Amino acid sequence: MSTDLTIHGPGELIETHDVHNADHEVHHHKDTFITKYVFSQDHKMICKQFLITGMIWAILGGLMSVLFRLQLGYPDSTFPILEDILGKWAKGGKLSPEGYYALVTMHGTVLVFFVLTGGLSGTFANFLIPLQIGARDMASPFLNMLSYWFFFSASVVILTSLFIETGPASGGWTSYPPLSALGDASLGSKAGMDYWITGMALFVVSSLLGGLNYITTILNMRTKGMSMTRLPLTIWALFFTAVLGVLSFPVLLSGLILLLFDRHAGTSFYLSDIFIASTQKALPNEGGSPILFQHLFWFLGHPEVYIIILPAMGLVSEVMAINSRKPIFGYMAMIGSLFAITVLAFLVWAHHMFVTGLNPFLGSVFVLLTLLIAVPSAIKVFNWLTTLWRGNIRFTPAMLFAIAFVSTFISGGLTGVFLGNSTLDIHLHDTLFIIAHFHIVMGVSAFLGMFCGVYHWFPKMYGRYMNNTMSYIHFWVTFAGAYLIFWPMHYEGLAGMPRRYMDYSGWTSFNQFGDLNRFISTVAMIVFAVQLMFVFNFFYSIFKGRKVTTQNPWQANTLEWTTPIRPGHGNWPGEIPEVHRWAYDYGKDGKDFILQTEPLGADEQHH
Amino acid sequence: MSNYFLFAILLLGFVITFQIAKASEYVGILKGEKKNNEQNNRINGFLMIVFLVLGLIGVYWCNELFKGKILGKSASAQGEKIDQMLYITIAICGVVFLITQILLFWFSFKYQYSEKRKSFYFPHNNKLEVIWTVVPAIALTVLVGFGLMYWFQITGEAPKDAMVVEITGKQFGWIYRYPGKDGVFGNKYYKSISDGQNNQLGLLWDDPKSHDDIVVSQTMYAIVNQPLKMIINSRDVIHDVGIVEFRMKMDAVPGTPTTMWFTPLFTTEQKKISSGNPDFEYEISCDQICGRGHYTMKGIIKVVTAEEFVLWRAKQVPNYVQVMKDKMPAAGPADSVKTAAVRIESPSKLVAAAGKE
């Protein structure tokens, strides 16, 4: 249907559409429930599908962390409720090691891939790309729909793996072989690992279909006058995100296929010199290298963290400019730094491998490249600060999350300077310091960016507002809670406490933080409860929220606010508007804001 | 029971919050949107500065609370360099952290919405942008410079007089091998591993160099102030030798031996006194997830004086001798006792010999 729209072009649309109706619908095509809500090809509906699936995953992934935080906070206690939830994995209310490692692994997989990649990019790329560049839909709405359904089937496979007898994958979200290759070495490496590989393969397909679509749409379907340098930064960020995904996910897939061969076809890509104690057998495999997998994994794995953070940066830049009533400072530098981050993201992967026996000289090259990436990151931070400077700031919930994003991005970015330096990495590698680092810079920041986006574009998605009071409570508890959880965790890391331990009490070197672990667990539970409140606010507001009555509630410049309050499939009832200026003319020449569609004045300066 | 109670309380809290939220929305409408927004703005602007102040106090307090529980004095010469690097990095990053966070929250507070204020149209400024490209670049160059200097010192070749020990990870424990009096490790092959026949490492008995190799589990011994070079292996999955007191860490990769070396500065006994903890040990923790027992995979390094080390080693029976003793009861033990006796005669010479290994 939407392919019709793009093929026939705007001329025909005017004939077939009622331009006066704000709640415009496409009349020549009757939508059934299935085509409108399930197998929809409307980018706005696909966005909501990604968002809601992502939210379900976020609740599950968050709940997993609450369960294993119970173990970490109270290693000596039993919780009957754990047995109610987890059954044999927590007999007598005490988490088994297999159960603990399964939870840790799934928490990581779910949040990194299904929430912060699928949920974040899937939601906002789908929603914002056509609306902000002035297109009626994606280049291929059909592939776009497939992208969601591959994501959905990946979700089904991973969810199923939680319920199989030997449990889901439990070798960490990185799934390093030989542990992940040998069912005899770990329970989770039996069938659970096959489910994990299958789920990830489907996820990669979803991500590639989506990414190719996003790139094509941004390059080819911008409306008249929308040159690349007039695009809002959201679109630039989503563009680079898609490029990163398209170039790096296939490498992960190839690595996983080799792993599958090692598991079932007797190959030795990753296996060599292995004697399994549980079966008292030496394996026939010789000559493989488990380090090869790490290279393949991190060739995706590092770009992956930028796939997560770039969309958040884009959302934050946009929301910050709108609510400071000022142009984003250094628009070209922002694009340049996004570009630099994208290029460097492919050149730093081995900093995850400083202590694998990597040649020290090679290590030093990766130190240099890794710390280089701090420069574009610093430029972005200073540009955000300057955007706030002398603005006229409105603290909408979205704006609060945007400011908080900058704060956590600074904190987490600076600890990255510690870890990227191989000398310090010797001590800090695989400790709770790295857990604190990436949760703040990638987990918390990306979540804050995502909340920022949800609060800001909720009125466009559903034609209603979310409840402000609940939003403010959600914000302050989440923001403060994130620091309370992860700031002290750096100290545990400095003390050398290894990650992925389920109990530290048997160690004289690491048992001094019992109280702190309890504190962190308690805060984590409170923060989780408040996220449930957000979810409630979200769904309640879809149906009962205060109605949006103006077309442009935030007084923003970008094109999505020129559509009707509840746009139909095709987005603009009449012709797609023409663009005459960049997206950031706020406070220019005494005017509060100037829509992108407004022609330049006679003597007006181009930015 | 208490679970349901907790759940009920949570639910109640939820409902109350929700009612307040709903009521405040109606109040907002009654007051008028503009006035309501201004009030929200003032509250949140104020909270921004509160967050900054409480946050900075919290950072200071957290540091006071925990600084005695982390790090301590490094017990290896290499670890001292790592600590040095850590302090340089904390200093530089700390300054950046304070400046940027203070500016962020201060700007948010200071430039909050006011009817009188007009935002300043300031799209870009090349000079400023060049400054904050160049300054971070210089700071990072300093960090990279120091970092790589220490990195090459730490990862460089071990000194000639280093004692060499082979350490092998398995699910879930550590096995150590000393080369014995010939100073050379005998050959091994993983397919010869047999826990049942007391050959944990798969030593090849047809290689005579393996005959004096000493294999021990759980606890290894090292000499204070003498460089210790570890050759790191794994028998099954990837493990990692992490010794927090020495600030050292290196993966154990099956099929690909890795190495690390460091110089212990204090004996275990000295550390027991200086740390005030009579149970103090140098613990080897596995730092790479390796299966269900990952968190229990502990090894101990006893750092002792050279004399104590010689005495300890004299008591060890080579793996070969242990295995052969089971088969031919007479030959092995006598031989090893003789060796030990010879060694104790001239400890000073043996210390030097131990050094060469």
Number of structural domains (chain A) is: 1
Domain B163-356 carries which CATH code?
2.60.40.420
A529 in reach of chain B (CB within 8 A): yes
Looking at the complex, does the CB of residue A423 fall below 8 Å from at least one CB of chain B?
yes
- Torsion, Cα A554 A576 A315 B104, to 10 degrees, reads -50
Q: Is B255 in contact with A289 (Cβ distance < 8 A)?
A: yes
CB–CB contact A291 B253 (8 Å):
yes
**Chain A from 536 to 595: CB within 8 A of any B CB:** 536-537, 546, 584, 586-590
Domain that holds residue A414: 2-593
Give the integer Cα–Cα distance in Å for B202 and B88: 46
- Tell me the shortest Cα–Cα distance from A373 to chain B, in angstroms: 10
The shortest CB-CB distance from A273 to any of B17, B117, B254 is to B254
- Residue range(s) of every CATH 2.60.40.420 domain in chain B: 163-356
Q: Tell me if B189 sits within 8 A of B204, measured CB to CB.
A: yes
Under 8 Å CB pairs connecting chains A and B tally to 377
Chain B neighbours among A 427-466 (CB < 8 Å)? 427, 429-431
Residue A381's closest chain B neighbor by CA?
Answer: B100
What CATH number is attached to the domain comprising A514? 1.20.210.10
CA distance B175 to B180: 15
Question: Residue A17 domain-assigned?
Answer: yes
Instruction: Identify whether A196 is part of a domain.
Output: yes
- Closest alpha carbon within chain B to A403: B104
Q: Are A383 and A329 in contact (CB under 8 A)?
A: yes
Residue A582 lies in a domain: yes
- Give the span between the Cα atoms of B209 and A549, in whole angstroms: 87
Say which of B70, B193, B298 has its CB closest to residue A495.
B70
- Cα–Cα distance list, A338 to A233, A316, A566 (Å): 10, 13, 32
Q: Which of A179, A272, A502 has the CB atom closest to B290's CB atom?
A: A179
Tell me the DSSP string of A104-135: HHHHHHIIIIIIIIIIHHHHHHHHHHHHHHT-
Of B25, B85, B249, nearest to A467 by CB-CB distance is B25
Neighbours of B138 (CB within 10 A): 9
CB interface of B with A, residues 260-319, below 8 Å = 277, 279-281, 283, 285-296, 298
- Asked if B100 and A385 come within 8 Å (Cβ–Cβ), the reply is yes
DSSP sequence for A423-440: HHHHHHTTBHHHHHHHII
Contacts of A1 (CB under 8 A, 6+ apart): A26, A29, A41, A141, A569
Q: Which of B69, B97, B279 sits opposite A410 (nearest CB)?
A: B97
- A207 touches B at CB < 8 Å: no
Residue A605 falls inside a structural domain: no
pLDDT of residue B333: 47
Chain A interface disruption, residue of B292, B298, B302, most A CBs within 10 A:
B292
In single-letter form, the type of residue at position B132 comes to: W
Chain A neighbors of B37, CB-CB under 8 A: 394
| Cβ contact B154:A423 at 8 Å | yes
Q: What angle do CA A155, A160, A164 make, to 5 degrees?
A: 155
For chain B, how long is the longest CA-to-CA vector? 101
**Position A599 in a domain:** no
A350 is a domain residue: yes
Tell me if A430 and B288 make a contact (CB, 8 A cut-off): yes
| Low pLDDT (below 70) residues in chain B | 1, 328-357
Residue in chain B closest to A482 (alpha carbons) equals: B55
The Cα B126–Cα B176 span in angstroms is: 60
User: Greatest CA separation found in chain A?
Assistant: 84
Residue B14 and residue A533: Cβ atoms within 8 Å? yes
Is position A598 within any domain?
no
| B59 has a chain A CB within 8 A of its CB | yes
* Closest listed residue to residue A309, CA positions, set A591, A583, A510, A117: A117
Q: Is A37 on the interface with B (CB under 8 A)?
A: no
In a domain, A357, yes or no: yes
Measure CB to CB from residue A290 to each of B143, B253, B283 and give the nearest one: B253
Model confidence pTM above 0.90: yes
Contacts A391 to B, Cβ<8 Å: 107, 111, 119-120
User: Contact B24/A469, CB-based, under 8 Å?
Assistant: yes
pLDDT per 10-residue tile (average), chain A, 607 residues: 39 39 49 84 95 97 95 91 89 92 96 95 96 95 96 96 94 94 93 96 96 96 95 97 96 96 95 93 93 96 95 97 95 96 95 94 94 94 96 95 97 95 95 96 96 97 94 96 96 95 92 93 95 96 93 94 92 93 91 92 73
Please spell the DSSP secondary structure of B127-195, one letter per residue.
Answer: HHHHHHHHHHHHHHHHHHHHHHHHHHHHHSPPPTT-EEEEEEEETTEEEEEE-TTTTSPPPB-GGG-BT
Q: How far is the alpha carbon of B167 from chain A, nearest alpha carbon, in Å? A: 15
- The ipTM assigned to this model is 0.91
Tokens of B296: 């229990």
